[in-house]
Structure 1
């Protein structure tokens, strides 16, 4: 399947969960230790805007990856940013374009098909972060989870840890559900619940 279709599925999964967030939950802790739920949602909007800019050749500047705002309507801000990145990813030659990803490293760039894979796995994982925080179910399709697992397996161990994009991998049983294995590969504890730090 086209990576862009999988990415749209990841955005839809995340958007459905974001739409269920209540105002009094925005200050809640999340599995991402550095962020409250408000901070996580702002990150999601910022990342969509950054990837959209990068798809159009303008992603080298840090500011485009950090300027996302939620305003008074976090779900609406997320939906608008999801529309923006989906439109940018729809360009005919986007899979071959070079995407600047300054969060990975200064001057770092990869072809669009790889960058969109990174975006997809990030949103599948962050959908779980939102779901775990608000006590909702996280139910990506088997196809989406399998695709995210393939990408997550490629994330190197170097550079992981507190403050990094990913924490160190967590060991789970080999027969753990596919979703749990994905979360563990990305350094998330599948058993996380609100109140854990």
Structure 2
């Protein structure tokens, strides 16, 4: 499935960004309101584990998606669990397994392509969050914009995310959408649609 391989590319880009995180930067603020870099990475690792479990056939168990405490090497935690998720998606693509995702709408089951799309957006947007916290998003945005298939997939999935008061209420995954700037690229448009300011600075 092509989307599974696009997701693998997205995870590779996310790993490159997270590999640049130093231990003394974990208390930095991020574009995720109220979340430090440590909290964001704990969320990402927990999501890797939850989606991987779902791809291997786990039922709608919310505990599988809980934030995961980081070890001595947060980048390695991110890299390892990301690789496990990529492998699990590839295995699920062989069987065509649907995934239970208890954090999304009614929990599913969701077709594999839809579930992979959800996490592709998560991977790229949170990679941008990390890059923004570290002070530089230009390279990540340029690489995604330079890959037509990846940028198209990111924007297509983002545009399908409901932007209603219920879906974007406090505590939900995304804030109400912003109006994309004129001439914005696909990555910046996706960020704005998910309620992030592409010009955010710490």
Q: Is the 8 A contact 2:132 2:200 kept in 1?
A: yes
Q: Which residue of 2 aligns with 1:141?
A: 144
Q: Is the 8 A contact 2:180 2:193 kept in 1?
A: no
* Whole-angstrom distance in 1 between the partners of 2:25 and 2:94: 37
Q: Which residue of 2 aligns with 1:4?
A: 4
Structure 2 alignment gaps of length 5 or more: none
Shift of 1:163: 1.5
Shift of 1:185: 1.1
Secondary structure of 2:196's counterpart equals coil
Instruction: Give the superposed CA RMSD.
Output: 1.7
Secondary structure of 2:110's counterpart equals strand
* Whole-angstrom distance in 2 between the partners of 1:186 and 1:27: 24
* Whole-angstrom distance in 2 between the partners of 1:111 and 1:92: 10
Q: Confirm or deny that 1:153 pairs with 2:159.
A: yes
Q: Which residue of 2 aligns with 1:116?
A: 116
Q: Which residue of 2 aligns with 1:132?
A: 132
| Residue-by-residue CA offset, 1:41-85 (whole Å, 9 max, x unaligned) | 011111111000000111411111015231111000001101110
Q: Confirm or deny that 1:187 pairs with 2:190.
A: no
Q: Which residue of 2 aligns with 1:30?
A: 30
Q: How many residues align?
A: 194
Q: Is the 8 A contact 2:144 2:187 kept in 1?
A: no
Q: Which residue of 2 aligns with 1:49?
A: 49
> TM-score, normalised on structure 2?
0.90
Q: Which moved more, 1:86-95 or 1:115-124?
A: 86-95
Q: Confirm or deny that 1:176 pairs with 2:179.
A: no
Secondary structure of 1:109's counterpart equals coil
Q: Which residue of 2 aligns with 1:163?
A: 171
Q: Which moved more, 1:111-120 or 1:51-60?
A: 51-60
Structure 1 alignment gaps of length 5 or more: none
> TM-score, normalised on structure 1?
0.92
Shift of 1:108: 2.7
| Residue-by-residue CA offset, 1:94-144 (whole Å, 9 max, x unaligned) | 573121111114543211111001100111111110010001232342322
Q: Which residue of 2 aligns with 1:90?
A: 90
